[in-house]
Amino acid sequence: MALEDALITYIFPYDENEQQRAERLVVITETLEQRQKIAFTAIIRKQKKFNDDMHKYLKMCEDMIDHQALSDYDTKKNDEFMKYLAGNRYTSDCPK
């Protein structure tokens, strides 16, 4: 099991009670040593970046479905973003 899978399964599981989830994260971070905290926060930042990128991708898809006319600038930005996603580490874990 990959580290991120273990974190999501055992440490960050979806919980209706946000207070319990927040308390669990506080307890975890209080027990970590400095180097562990750095790694832990790096994983959290990576997840946030992934989430932000997926929201941007979904917005692009919605615009395409709605047949939104894009300027040349927006089209170029979208193309660059798609190249970024295609070459990003998110896809490196995908089965071939």
4-36 tens-digit pLDDT: 777 777 777 776 778 888 888 888 888 889 998
Q: Which domain holds residue 68?
A: 49-95
Which two structure tokens, joined as six digits, stand for 43? 């994983």
Tokens of 16: 């209706």
In a domain, 63, yes or no: yes
Which of 17, 47, 16, 43 has its CA nearest to residue 32? 43
What's the pLDDT tens digit per position in 38-84?
988 888 888 888 888 989 999 888 888 887 777 888 889 888 988 88
Structural domain contains residue 32: no
User: Domain total for the chain?
Assistant: 1
Residue 4 located in a structural domain: no
35, part of any domain: no
The answer to whether position 28 is within a domain reads no
Query: Is 61 part of a structural domain of the chain?
Result: yes
Separation between Cα atoms, residue 77 and residue 90, nearest integer Å: 19
- pTM, two decimals, is 0.54
